[in-house]
Structure 1
Amino acid sequence: MDLRRLTSFLAVVEEGHFGKAAERLFRSPASVTAHIKQLEHDLGVRLLDRSPVRLTPAGERFVGHARSLLAALDAAVADVAEAPAEPTLRVGVMSNGSAELTPAVVQAFQRACPEVAVEFLALDFTEHVSALVQHRVDVAFVRPAPVDERIAVDVVTTERRIVVVPASWGLADAPAVHLDDVLDLPYVSLPEHTPRQFSDYLYFADARGGLSPHRSRSHAVTPHEVLTTAAAGRGAGSALESFQRYYPWPGTVCVPVLDAPPEHSVLATRADDRNPAVRTFRSLTTSLARELGPRLRLA
């Protein structure tokens, strides 16, 4: 039964007038009249006398049912609106995350918790803390490890460092380089609000003795922007070794930095998060990192 016919019927009953009922419902008088006629046709009885407007005996009996039907619908809508939302885990991923371990963990989590939906958010270089503390993600695969009392960290991979350079630079022909070979390169510029830990990581700050890096005029907050800058011959970037497996890019070369200390990719979560899905995800991450890391040559 078309609910519009019921609302038109009840409005006419309560207003005692077809025109006033139409105004109340923001409908035309003709549509209200048509609804009443269609309802009477469906039921096979006359519900209203027209002049003056009043209920027939059948209408008297039906009006209570009509009110009950609409009340039941309102109750159903309210009940559904109060139902808990589908549980969701939001996973932030910076760059290529923790390499092959990232999809392995997500797949294991989906098998363990099929009732929890998983959503992904790509994180740029400025977000490895902010996305968590602003509750835009629940867990995040990032690098380097944040040092922040609000953030809990689980190391997932430990990898060799590389530099990403234009294929046209002489450095691109070297099978490997040392820190002294890369400290004076013009690196992509990062926004001022980039966390200090990430900029120190990108620019090999520990090896600079306090000296500032040379910065390209090109800015970057994503791996694609780093690669585009390098392909255009306008600057260099740095990353973990697994980066080159995920981002083969024409016009760029990834070169290992032999004496750069290895760096971690980590799973970061809010330190005070008691969400059972987050705890499960963390547990699976640390277990798979121990089990699969050596096989993937990431540990």
Structure 2
Amino acid sequence: MELRQLASFLAVVEEGQFARAAARLFLSPPAVTGHVRQLERELGVQLLERSPLRLTAAGERFVPHARAALEAVNAATDAVADLGGDDSVLRVGIMGHGSAELTPAILQAFYRARPQTRVSVEGLNYDEHVSALLERKVDVAFVRPEPGDERIVADVMTTEPRIVLVSARSPLAAADHVTLADVLDLPYLNVPVCTPQAFTNYLYFMDARGGEWPRRGPDTTRNPQECLTSAAAGRGVGSALYSFMRFHPWPGVKYLPVVDAPWDDSVLVSRRDDLRPAIQTFRNVARSLARDLGPVLVPPPVLPAA
């Protein structure tokens, strides 16, 4: 049994709808549905009737225990928040290549600013876009795009054009660039169902689709390496920020700028209520370097007119 399963179950109970529960948790509705089903399978009982949505007798009995379990975990976390896990260690999460060349520059500057603080770097998968921070696996994280969660504060590090990555054998591979019209109907690689909605919106150009999901290929990918391997094999299309090309040259993959797609951000995120000095120092260093070095380290590409 996992905490996210309990959180999803209680959100559905309190919101009265899977869609509203998903919005509250910044997850996709299929992810919330999956969490509740997994919980029911592990308990061996049905907790919710679906049509109409209401608690079963087992669900009624389980609700107070689920709430107590989450409250106990939160209380335990708060009780030790100022011990051991203080400024002596800063856990930095990095999704993919983070914020391009700014990421190592910020880490190096922080080492100089606070040599007494040990830094632990953790790689993040796509489905950890928000959860790694909120579940306190990391203290700060370089992710994309901005999560849009009131519990999280985000500092923009880079703002970049968008690209797609296709198989070198794709008919599009001969082009130098593409438009949204060229790529919206392609089959996209899947990500885990628990991936936050903000990330899937970014990955699949959902705004340009009017909220409609794209066609998707057979593979589910959790990180850039899996994405590139599947794309090279012609199993689906991925998307990324422009700087991704510099960090992930990959045999069998062609990168194509999407010239009319809105530019998007990589961001540094931290918990809004985490005011420890090491966190604030890291944010201050990051904002300063993003302002002063960003245009140099991440120059905008020269793209054809749309």
How many aligned residue pairs are there?
218
Partner Cα separation in structure 2 for residue 195 and residue 172 of structure 1 = 30
Letter in 2 for 1:230: A
> What's 1:65 paired with?
none
Q: Output the aligned Cα RMSD.
A: 1.6
> What's 2:97 paired with?
96
Partner Cα separation in structure 2 for residue 217 and residue 162 of structure 1 = 21
> What's 2:28 paired with?
none
Cα offsets for 1:182-241 (capped at 9, x unmatched): 001111011111100100100000001232201011010100011000111111100000
Is this contact kept in 2: 1:143–1:264, CA < 8 A? yes
The 3 A distance-change label for structure 1 pair 167 and 118 is: same
Cα offsets for 1:23-65 (capped at 9, x unmatched): xxxxxxxxxxxxxxxxxxxxxxxxxxxxxxxxxxxxxxxxxxx
Partner Cα separation in structure 2 for residue 269 and residue 83 of structure 1 = 19
> What's 2:251 paired with?
250
Displacement of 1:83: 9.2
Q: TM-score, normalised by structure 2?
A: 0.69
Letter in 2 for 1:266: V
Q: Secondary structure at the match of 1:136?
A: coil
The alignment-based identity, stated in percent, is 56
Displacement of 1:84: 9.3
Displacement of 1:296: 2.1
Letter in 2 for 1:93: I
Is this contact kept in 2: 1:157–1:298, CA < 8 A? no
The 3 A distance-change label for structure 1 pair 159 and 85 is: closer
Letter in 1 for 2:208: A
The 3 A distance-change label for structure 1 pair 260 and 91 is: same
Displacement of 1:170: 1.3
Structure 1 unpaired stretches of 5+: 1-81
> Which structure 2 residues correspond to residues 93-242 of structure 1 after superposition, within 5 A?
93-242=94-243
The 3 A distance-change label for structure 1 pair 266 and 83 is: closer
Displacement of 1:298: 4.4
Cα offsets for 1:244-278 (capped at 9, x unmatched): 10000000011000000000000000000011000
Partner Cα separation in structure 2 for residue 295 and residue 91 of structure 1 = 24
Displacement of 1:132: 0.7
Partner Cα separation in structure 2 for residue 173 and residue 236 of structure 1 = 15
Larger radius of gyration: 1
> What's 1:73 paired with?
none
Letter in 2 for 1:163: V
Is this contact kept in 2: 1:158–1:298, CA < 8 A? no
Is this contact kept in 1: 2:86–2:276, CA < 8 A? no
Q: Does 1:290 align with 2:261?
A: no
Partner Cα separation in structure 1 for residue 292 and residue 114 of structure 2 = 20
Cα offsets for 1:93-118 (capped at 9, x unmatched): 00100000000000000000000001
> What's 1:262 paired with?
263
